[in-house]
Structure 1
Amino acid sequence: MSVELALSDAVSDEAPARVDGRSRRIGAWLGATLLVLVLAVLVFPEWFSSGRPNATDVRHAFTPPSLGHLFGTDELGRDVYTRVVYGAGISLGIGVLAVGIGVVGGVLLGLLSGLGRGWVDTVAMRVVDVLLAVPELLLALLVVAIIGRGSLNVALAIGVAAVPHFARLVRGQALSVLRSEYVEAAKILGVPPVRYLGRHVLPNVGGPLVVMASIGTGSAITAAAGLSVLGLGPPAPSPEWGAMLSEGQAYLGTAWWIAVFPGLAVVVVVLSVTLLGRGVQARRLR
C-alpha cells in the first residue's frame, strides 16, 4: 500500500512539472515568433509602412484609428503606426546596446573579482553591493542626469545600472568553476590563466549569462521607455516608443491611441524577449 502511495505521489509531482515544462516551451516558441516579427520590422521597416515617421499633416491631427491610419494620428497629424514601426529600431537598439554594456562590464568586473580574491574581491563586491542597493531605474536616472539625454546616453545609463547584476552572476559562476578539480589540475600543470579561462570558465559562465541577458533586454527596453516618459530619453521628434508615450500621455482622455499603441509595442517586445529567456532557462535546467 505504501509503495502505491509513493508511486502516486511521484506521478502527481511529475505531472505539474511536465505541464510547466510544456507551457514554458510553448511560451518560448511564441516569444521567438514575436521576436522574429519585431526583428523583421526593425530591419525592413519600409516593408511594413511606406510613410515617413516625422511627416506632419495638421489637417488630419487627432484622427482616430481607421483603414487610412491604422493607429490613428497624433497632435501634429503624424501617422502613429508609421512611427511605431520606425521606432522599433530605436527602442530595441537601446535595449540591446544597454544589455551589451552591462554584459561586458559585468564579465570584466566579475572575473576580476573571482580571480583576484583577497582585497580585490572584497572591494569589488562591496561596490557591487552598494550599487545593487540602489534601484536600477534610479541609478540609470542619475547617470542620465549627469551625462545628458539621448539614445546613446540612455543605453549607457541603463547598461551601467545593469553591470552589478551581471557582475554578481559572473563572479558566482567563475568561483564555482575555478574551485573545480580540472581547473586546479590545470593550475598545477602550469596552464596559463588565459587558457583555462577561455576553455573552462567562460563557457560555463556563458549559459547563465545568455539567459540573464535575454531577460534583461526586456527590462532595459522598459527602463528606456520609463526614462523617456520622464523626459530624459531621445529628444523630439524621435519615434522612440517611450518618447511617444511621453508625448501621448497629455491626450489620453481625448486621443488615447497616441500613447496606447506605443505602449502595446513595448509590452509585446518585452513579453517576447522574456518568454524566450524563460524558455532557454527552463531548457538549461532540465
Structure 2
Amino acid sequence: YKHNLYKYFTMTSRIVSKIAKGMATSDGGGVKLKRVIGGPIARVDPFLMLDEFKSDNSNDYMAGFPDHPHRGFETVTYMLAGAMEHRDHRGNCGLLTSGSVQWMTAGRGIIHSEMPKMDQGLMHGFQLWVNLPAKDKMMEPRYQDIPPENVPVVTDDNGNRIKVLAGQYKEVVGPVQGVVTAPLLLDVEIAPGATFIEEIPVGHASFAYVFQGTGQFGPKNESQEVKISHIALLDGSKGQTQIEVSSTEGCRFLLAAGKPINESIVQHGPFVMNTEREIMQAISDYRNGKF
C-alpha cells in the first residue's frame, strides 16, 4: 500500500528537470536586465523569452525601449514597481503601473515603444514572450491592459498569497482572456515555513522563476532548491498534474504554464514566424511601412 501511494504521489507531482540562472544583459536603449528564457534556457514552447528588469539606478532603465517592431507572437509585461508608458504606431497609448499587466498580441505587426515614466526610484518587472501558432500569426493586433485592481489576489489556508494574472487558480479566474495557448500565469508569494500546491494542466509546459527568497520545488522525496534569480523547468512529460513548493524562509516566484504549439520556429529578432520566407516578408513589410 505504501509503495502504491508513493508511486501515485511521485507520478502526480512535477519534478524539476533543469535549473538555470538568469543572464545579465541589456536590451532596448540599453536597459540592464536578466534574460532567463532566450538566454541560459533557449525556449520552453510556447514561451520564447523571459526578461526580468530590476534596478533603483535610473541610469539602468531611463533609455527604455524606443520604437521597435513585433510580428508573430505575444508580449506580456508585468510591473511590480515603477511605471512604463506604452505607445504604438496606431495611436494606442497606455500606462503600466505597479501591479498591472499588459498582454499584447502583436499578430501581423505592431511598432511600439515602452518608456519609463519616472526618473528615480525602483523599476521592477518582467516581460514574457509567448508564441502564436501559424494560423494566428497574422491576426489583427490587440491589447489586454489590466490595471492592478483587476488582478485577483487569493490568500490560501497556508498564508500564501497568489496573484492570478492569467488562467485559473482554484475557483478564481484571471483577467487575461482568449489566449490560444491557454496559459496559467501566477505571482506566488509563499509564507515562511509554508507549502504551496497548484494544479497544472496535463501536457502544458511549465516553469517557475524565483525573484525573492529560496524554495524547494517538487515532491518532498525529489525536491530541488531553487534560489533567487533562477528558473526551474517543471517536467510534466509523464502526465503529472500538479507542482508542490515549500520554503523555510519564504519565497516569491512567477509560475507559468502553456499549451505547446509544436511547430517549427524561425526567429529574427522581434519577428517570430514558421519559415525563412515568412521572416523575409516580415522584414520587407516593416521596411516598406506595411505594418
Shared fold per TM-score greater than 0.5: no
Q: Which has the higher helix share?
A: 1
TM-score (norm 1): 0.23
TM-score (norm 2): 0.23
Structure with bigger RCO (C-alpha 8 Å, 6+ apart) = 1
